[in-house]
Structure 1
Amino acid sequence: MSASDDGLLGIGELARRADVTVKTVRFYSDHGLLPEAARSPGGHRRYGPEALDRLRLIRSLRTLDLPLPAVRRVLADEDGAAAGVLEDALAGQLRALGSRLTALRWREAALRLVAESPPGQRAERLRLVGAMSTPPSTEPLARFWRAWLPPRMPARSTAAFLDATVVRPPEEPAPAQVLAFARLHALTTGPCPATGRPQPQVHRAAGARGAAVLYAGLAEAYELAGAPLRRERRPHPGEALDCFVAAYATAYGVQDTPRFRRGLSRQLAAEPRLDRYWELVAEVTTPPGGRPEPTPGTAHDWLLAALRAQQADADG
């Protein structure tokens, strides 16, 4: 059936011109996306000439996999801002697609990890990757560090601390990075050692606000230590170490003196679980063949070694 004398199109003719099925036209009409202009005496749907362009637009939007609510928002815009509405819809679709692609890349890398594992390690690695989602959530890591921080630390300081300590999973991981993150997930969700996980002495002495000051100062010291770490220089006194010690002195409310430095070098003990955390972070963030970047953990160890070397020279 062609256009009638009044210029209206029947459902079959509209479907033919738009190269879709009659069922498709009926579906969009029933959902209010393609309004009818009239009904024939026999009750058949009739559409105005503008319906063809509208139907082609709907088809194009649906080809991009936009959901019906997004299509409706684009079609309903009558203020001349359709480009902005469309851009928002497309941006949302791109974000959703990116998330699905990231999940698929993680699944592919996890499959390769298990498939390429030596037979004796396959069961353990399968258990590790099976315990986390793909892509993995960072919430277990955040919980791990929140338990480390003193209660009632200011929210802004807590957010800054978590931003520096919670590693983000790569979007295109290699199998080795999947394994490292799976081990990181197991480390942060597993039970604490039998000795528990006591709060550091500085938390108990300085309190929540003192700890906030401490970690702000340590972040600056770690950044300063990054340069010699990248050049693979041995731990040594300097601006980074002074900033490191000042962070602790300020948190304790005391002066930076040789006596304080001597006591601090004895007080700061190794934390095997935290050391393992930062080792795994380096593995997660380093692509195959890449060079590891300094982490807060490696910076802390370098600065502590510099402090102890300084004290050894002073005592010698």
Structure 2
Amino acid sequence: MEGDTLYTIGELARRTGLSVRTIRFYSDEGVVPATSRTAAGYRLYDVEAVARLDLVRTLRDLGVDLGTIRRVLDHEIGVNEVATTHAEALDVQIRTLRLRRAVLRAVAKRGSSPEEIEIMHKLARLSDEERRRIITDFIDESFAGLDVDPGFEAKMRSALPELPDDPEPEQVDAWVELAELVGDPSFRTAVRRMAEAQAAEIGKGTYPEDAARLGTATGEKIAAAMADGIEPGSDAARPIVDELVAMYAEAYGTTDSAEFRHELLRRTELGTDPRAERYWQLIATINGWPVWPAMTPAFEWFIEALRD
């Protein structure tokens, strides 16, 4: 019967395809001990040893360490538990390799300097939680101690960067740029100033409830004017500006006047920073969302028109 058959280490090597040296090592480590020995002291192995050796080879090919393999063979832990743990570890390794590939592709595309490569690599390999913390720390500092529009703050906190497991080079680029942007002291100061202005208006009860709608309507109307080639200081621009000023005056509970236009100019200048719009564009790129057209040029047009 095959169950009674004993194999020498050489025969076992030929049967399994492993080297004599490897089998001897596993035997010495107690992973696949010899079943018995010949009168001359040579090791002999039975069919069970062959099966154990096949399992050892399979688990080693999957990257399982010998200590864990020994525990599996001794029935201390199940193969399913080992497989789950190692599958999770492989997921992390695969994700890391994909990130490295994306960084290398971004480097190749940008022609980055050694310093930029190091920064890109460090930022890209951060965990999701670490990446989110960079943004939430920025938001916390911007809004600390201020009663800003709850809807706007909720939008900021819900739109966090989620770099995919297999990012495109553009997404890696966007993440690096975003991290640099929120770390820029001048940008942080500008956003804090915007938040303070908003909180002050809310405190005075002058902050319009439909501020977001006002901004969208302004951008769309001026974008149409720009597409028609209307210059901000031209006669053709005056009725557009008058209509927009009237819309803002109604929202702020006042009427059009030189004083109100001066205040509207101040508010628009304070709230118009291309870096703020860039922040949202970068978030969209990282998360794979549609990137909306830039609205900053429209508000710069409005600023110039209000100055005339």
**TM-score scaled by structure 1?**
0.54
Q: Which residue pairs with 1:252 in the alignment?
A: none
* Residues 77 and 260 of structure 1, relative CA distance in 2, 3 Å threshold: farther
Q: CA deviation at 1:196?
A: 7.0
- Secondary structure of the residue aligned to 1:46 is strand
Q: Deviations over 1:273-307 (max 9, x none)?
A: 44322122223344xxxx7167xxx9xx8xxx9xx
1:35 aligns with 2:25: no
**TM-score scaled by structure 2?**
0.56
Distance in 1, matches of 2:178 and 2:125, equals 11
1:142 aligns with 2:133: yes
**Equivalent of 1:77 in 71, 75, 78:** 75
Pairs within 5 Å for 1:199-214: 200-201=195-196
* Residues 136 and 12 of structure 1, relative CA distance in 2, 3 Å threshold: same
Equivalent pairs counted in the alignment come to 234
Relative to total residues, which structure has the larger helix share, 1 or 2?
Answer: 2
**Equivalent of 1:281 in 274, 280, 283:** 283
- Secondary structure of the residue aligned to 2:33 is coil
Distance in 1, matches of 2:115 and 2:176, equals 9
User: Is the CA contact (8 Å cut-off) linking 2:164 and 2:287 kept in structure 1?
Assistant: yes
Q: Which residue pairs with 1:46 in the alignment?
A: 44
**For the pair shown, which has the larger CA radius of gyration, 1 or 2?**
2
Distance in 2, matches of 1:260 and 1:77, equals 77
Q: CA deviation at 1:167?
A: 0.8
Structure 1, unpaired ranges of 5+: 153-159, 207-221, 236-257, 306-316
Structure 2, unpaired ranges of 5+: 146-153, 203-211, 222-247, 254-263, 300-308
**Equivalent of 1:180 in 171, 174, 178:** 174
Q: Which residue pairs with 1:262 in the alignment?
A: 252
- Secondary structure of the residue aligned to 1:166 is coil
Identity among equivalent pairs (%): 29
User: Is the CA contact (8 Å cut-off) linking 1:142 and 1:162 kept in structure 2?
Assistant: no
**Equivalent of 2:84 in 82, 88, 91:** 88
Distance in 1, matches of 2:44 and 2:74, equals 21
Distance in 1, matches of 2:90 and 2:199, equals 44
Q: Deviations over 1:147-201 (max 9, x none)?
A: 432569xxxxxxx988733312233333333322221222233444595763734
User: Is the CA contact (8 Å cut-off) linking 2:8 and 2:42 kept in structure 1?
Assistant: yes
Pairs within 5 Å for 1:152-191: 164-191=158-185
1:132 aligns with 2:120: yes
User: Is the CA contact (8 Å cut-off) linking 1:184 and 1:277 kept in structure 2?
Assistant: yes
Distance in 2, matches of 1:184 and 1:278, equals 9
Amino acid at match of 1:278: W
Q: CA deviation at 1:109?
A: 1.4
* Residues 73 and 8 of structure 1, relative CA distance in 2, 3 Å threshold: same
1:99 aligns with 2:90: no
- Considering only aligned residues, what root-mean-square deviation do their CA atoms show, in Å? 4.7
* Residues 161 and 143 of structure 1, relative CA distance in 2, 3 Å threshold: farther
* Residues 37 and 69 of structure 1, relative CA distance in 2, 3 Å threshold: same
User: Is the CA contact (8 Å cut-off) linking 1:70 and 1:89 kept in structure 2?
Assistant: no
User: Is the CA contact (8 Å cut-off) linking 2:9 and 2:23 kept in structure 1?
Assistant: yes
Q: Which residue pairs with 1:244 in the alignment?
A: none
- Secondary structure of the residue aligned to 2:108 is helix
- Secondary structure of the residue aligned to 1:292 is coil
Distance in 2, matches of 1:76 and 1:205, equals 71
